[in-house]
Structure 1
């Protein structure tokens, strides 16, 4: 399967476009193979196009001047980046940061062609449907950050990833939009309570039921 076939498989909506629109898309497509850890876009940069992720994933986060980051969402194959679409629709610069989490293949659709394709009902419906889904995810994130304690969010983050997590305290802090010192203190408390065992770049889950009780405590109110 070549790159164009992979693109169509990941984004079936493209097959619903009229032949002329598909030809316009294919002619304007800018293909990019990007290594893991590469900065794709950042605050105050101009948005040059609409990305279609074919392989890999992109982590989108909001960054503070202090260097702290709050992860907003990930763009996996077949998904869209609402920061990119909102910037294109509103003619604004980026207001978040996008970094590849793994080796990534993407197709960037230039802004002019993106604007043209919005005139096609199938493409317009695709963009706004996923836009609505992302907004719902972001509302859930806001609720988590605003109304749940950090220890509850950390407990939830540790669950569902197996018995042993090979992860640093800094990586956990980045996922939570917190700082390493606070997360380390919470993990030490978890260890003292017998919930986890800590080692270098490793967290072993000893009491998943206890973590689950802690994680769900913030959802009962």
Structure 2
């Protein structure tokens, strides 16, 4: 197996759509794609930066966030290996700069498909269906995020977040705040209240869940009734 065949096999393992493309399209993709390795914490793209191509994440993961002028961040979604970035797709289709920031959560390997080749591949039904299916999935997730931020109180969202991380969480208050799009002081205040109710036991960079049923009541809002 030569180098290009190895690259195609690696891509197809993460993105099965590659196997559905005509051989000529596969060849163009391999000839024009740029492979890159980004260390953990590295910036892949930033607000107002021009979009250079369509990323295929082979290893690692990317956190996509919206940043405010005061430094606060609202996490939008994560792009794991085998997934793709809807904001990159949107910027390429609309020929607009990025309106969010992408940060490598771990050492990340990706292949960047240049925008001209992205446009050409949209003529292939398999690739076009792949891109628009991505839009449908990500928009549904973003609508869920909007609903949570708009209609759920922070204590409910924090309780639900804690329940999704196991009995003992090795996490800081700042990390929880980042995931919730809030600030550390609010999260610390809520955790102190949860501790007073016997729901959790916070310690340095660790939170133990003591009463999962009680947290579920908080998450559902039924503790108010």
Structure 2 length-normalised TM: 0.94
CA distance in 1, matches of 2:28, 2:6: 19
Match of 1:160?
164
Render the CA deviation track for 1:52-96: whole Å, top value 9, x for unaligned.
011111010111101111100111111110000000000000000
Question: Which of 172, 193, 198 is the aligned partner of 1:194?
Answer: 198
Match of 1:38?
42
Matched, 1:63 2:71: no
CA distance in 2, matches of 1:217, 1:88: 41
CA distance in 1, matches of 2:10, 2:207: 37
RMSD: 1.2
Render the CA deviation track for 1:116-160: whole Å, top value 9, x for unaligned.
000111100000001111000000000000000000000000013
Question: Which of 43, 46, 53 is the aligned partner of 2:57?
Answer: 53
Match of 1:211?
215
Matched position secondary structure for 1:72: strand
Give the alignment of 1:5-44 within 5 angstroms.
5-44=9-48
Q: How many residues align?
A: 218
Matched position secondary structure for 1:58: strand
Residues 38 and 107, structure 2, Cα contact 8 Å, conserved in 1: yes
CA distance in 2, matches of 1:175, 1:3: 34
Question: Which of 91, 94, 99 is the aligned partner of 2:103?
Answer: 99
Question: Where do 5+ consecutive residues of structure 1 fail to align?
Answer: none
CA distance in 1, matches of 2:100, 2:81: 20
Structure 1 length-normalised TM: 0.96
Match of 1:88?
92
Post-superposition, which runs of at least 4 consecutive aligned residues in structure 1 deviate over 3 A?
Answer: 1-4
Matched position secondary structure for 2:98: coil
Question: Which of 100, 111, 115 is the aligned partner of 2:115?
Answer: 111
Matched position secondary structure for 1:157: helix
Q: CA deviation at 1:2?
A: 4.7
Match of 2:129?
125
